[in-house]
Structures are given as C-alpha cells and as structure tokens.
Amino acid sequence: KAGVTQTPRYLIKTRGQQVTLSCSPISGHRSVSWYQQTPGQGLQFLFEYFSETQRNKGNFPGRFSGRQFSNSRSEMNVSTLELGDSALYLCASGQGWSGELFFGEGSRLTVL
Amino acid sequence: TQLLEQSPQFLSIQEGENLTVYCNSSSVFSSLQWYRQEPGEGPVLLVTVVTGGEVKKLKRLTFQFGDARKDSSLHITAAQPGDTGLYLCAGAWRDSWGKLQFGAGTQVVVTP
C-alpha cells in the first residue's frame, strides 16, 4: 500500500509570494491533516479535512488555507509568505475515527 | 505552553543500555500515539494505545498508557544505533481525531 505522498519536497520562495503544497493520502483514508514543524515550536496542527469538509482548524492566521478534493487529495496554500513561515510542512492521513495518523515525508519550505 | 510534556529532552546512551522516555499531561486523551522521526523525514507511527493501563510491546520497545489516560512511557531495552531518532508522543481526542497534540520530543542518540 502506497504511503502518504507530498509534493514538492523542497521549495524556496521569497517574502510576499504564495505557495501551494499537495498531499495524496493513503488509499481509503478520508481524513487529511496538515502540520507545521519548526525547531522552536515543534509540530503544530494547521487543519484537518474529512470528506472535503474542514473538520478542525488550528491557531494560524488566515493566510494559511487548505482544501480537500473528492478523491481525498488535499492542498494547502500559504499567501503573502513571511520569513517565519519557513518550516517543514507535514501532511498526515487517517481513517478519521482514530488518532492513528500516517505522515508523509514533508515539504521543506524556505522563505528568503 | 506544551500540553504534553516529554522528558528528558535529550538522551545519549551507549549501545546495549536501556532507556525510558516519559510523556505527561494534565489532559485525558482518547488515544495516545508514539512516533519516531529522523532528520528530513516525516514521523513514523510506532504504536497507538487506547485503554488506561494498556501495555504494548514492539520487539525491544515497550509502551505503557497510564491508568488515567493522561501519561505514557516508552522503554527501549538493549538500545541499538538504529534506535537513534526523535521520539514524539501525541494525544488525540474523540471529537477531533485528526488534531493530534504533540509533545516537544525526546532526541535519543545511541552510540556504538
């Protein structure tokens, strides 16, 4: 069974730009969650989608948004990038009725 | 403020020694997950514990969930260099399965 796939793996942007990250969950998983990981803050929850609906949202500004498609694939978007948005962005999928989440390898975003 | 407190933050041991990592909280969780993460990669799920007092073994790793479902421990017997990594505990609640609350992690280094 293929794991969670995230693209791109690495990207470099400049302040003010926007970025879109993509996530393909494990086949059959309807829940997709996004996390931001930084050395100072650790892993922080961004949002969760289940059957195309946002089910939970973390404490991030409105510049961070996401969506889920009918095939459960998900994208997250960050607009007006700031230096502090540099981080590893992780996508995780699950069945939606347990805490067992399976993570992708992440997208490493560097904002210059 | 970290809802889940992990200790110690860093652990360096010799191959063959035993180690224990602790994960404590004032909150009751519906389930608790342990992950291991290596540099540049996403966290890999090791185990999920659900029932208070539950003990699970995975080869040389033993996981325990506290009776009150607020704390957990991970014990590694006869550590090997391949056990090196960042160990993360994460709690989940029934009404928000995709929203894991992560501890800050314990960096374990096992030297030959």
* Cα dihedral A87/A91/A96/A98 (nearest 10): -70
Is the pLDDT higher at B3 or at A44? A44
**pLDDT (0 to 100) of residue B1:** 53
Torsion angle of alpha carbons B21, A47, B28, B47, nearest 10°?
-40
The model's pLDDT over B59-112, given as tens digits with 9 standing for 90+, comes to 999 999 999 999 999 999 999 999 999 999 999 998 888 999 999 999 999 999
CB contact under 8 A, B42 and A103: yes
CA-based nearest distance B50→chain A, Å: 9
* Min distance B55 CA to chain A CA atoms (Å): 17
Tokens of residue A84, six digits: 């502090």
A99:B41 CB<8 A: no
Q: What is the pLDDT of residues B28-72, one digit of tens each?
A: 999 999 999 999 899 999 999 999 999 999 999 999 999 999 999
Is pLDDT of A43 > 90?
Answer: yes
Q: Who among B41, B48, B98 is closest to A56 (CB)?
A: B98
